[in-house]
Amino acid sequence: MHNEKVDQFEVNKKMKLRSAVCFISMLVLFVVLFMISIKAGSIKISWNDIINAFSDSKTVKGKIVMDIRFPRVLAATLLGGALGISGFMLQNFFNNPIAGPFVLGISSGAKLAVAIVMIIFIGNGSSVNSYYMIGAAFIGALLSMFFILLVSRKTRNSAILIVCGVMIGYICSAITELLINFAADSDIVNLHSWSMGSFSGISWDNIKIISIVVILGFVAGFLMTKPMEAYTFGEDYARSMGVNIKHFRMMMIIISSVLSASVTAFAGPISFLGVAVPHLMRGVFKTAKPRVMIPACFLGGALFCLFSDLMARMLFAPTEISVSTITSILGAPVVIIIMITRKRRA
């Protein structure tokens, strides 16, 4: 018995040390990538220009740094982190390794709702309020989520669940494209780029809203780590540990929907990031414990999104491709590997 306790203590000690090393390494990588993302672009900006921009943002390069690149990089950080957490929570909730906001059609539902609101407002010559955008995205995400929940109650087959999610995504995307084609004019030129996934045009006013929503979502998600861990062993076990299943389900739906909705509202749909990041983080940290995975997925999502946005801007500069194109290229192979691995195990 004593030896078992000693062994368990050593295992926990090694796990904590590994987690600490991983977090520190990722934080260093994040700082480096963050600074490179601010410096990189079609217009050359030196490190001195970046430093000077904090004291004098009225120069041309100062405005580029403070009004264009800095908000964009912050948005990629926060929204990438939001997608990472949302993906992990959905995988935990559905007990499905390839569940995610994009794969389940949640992002597409949010995209359709935001597109409708944008077209209504812009068509009437009004600017779209950030609160309306995130509210519309949340409603669209919730509607898609409830449909997926209905399907999950009818079948335990994860393949059917994913196919239904993909079909929801196709339907919502088709309707969105139809609306964009009919509404396309000089006033809504940014609508198409938004629908493809982009961090361009993010303002400081947007950052304020994004920060509030994502930070609250992160805190709420972290507070759910204990019931999440209990839920991984099944509903009966979670109930025996004092988890209110009805309340738990509601909170998981709300938190994951709000986080994925915030991304769609301001950056459009970002493909596969929510699926890939949780698996990458499990591989790096060698654990699936929610109290480790929530901050790990936030940081991993931020890194994934920053790198993808940097590639989207620089690969064919000055032409910019959609962030979703890069995340699909990087994230889709992860999903394929997961499905092949599951097939072999089965």
Q: What is the pLDDT of residues 9-25, one digit of tens each?
A: 676 778 888 889 999 99
Q: Are 285 and 220 in contact (CB under 8 A)?
A: no
| φ, ψ of residue 158 in degrees (nearest 5) | -65, -30
Round to whole Å and give the CA distance between 81 and 218: 9
Q: Is the pLDDT of residue 184 over 60?
A: no
| φ, ψ of residue 225 in degrees (nearest 5) | -65, -40
Q: What is the pLDDT of residue 192?
A: 67
- Could you tell me which residues come within 8 angstroms of residue 137 by beta carbon, excluding any fewer than 6 positions away? 110, 111, 113, 114, 261, 262, 264, 265
Q: What is the pLDDT of residues 186-225, one digit of tens each?
A: 445 556 667 778 888 888 989 999 999 999 999 999 999 9
Q: How confident is the model at residue 81 (pLDDT cuts 50, 70, 90)?
A: very high
Highest mean pLDDT among 15-24, 120-129, 152-161: 15-24
Q: Are 145 and 253 in contact (CB under 8 A)?
A: yes
Boundaries of every domain in the chain: 2-345
Whole-number Cα distances in Å, 192 to 183, 189, 197: 10, 7, 9
CATH superfamily label, 2-345 = ABC transporter involved in vitamin B12 uptake, BtuC (1.10.3470.10)
Region 231-237: mean pLDDT is 87
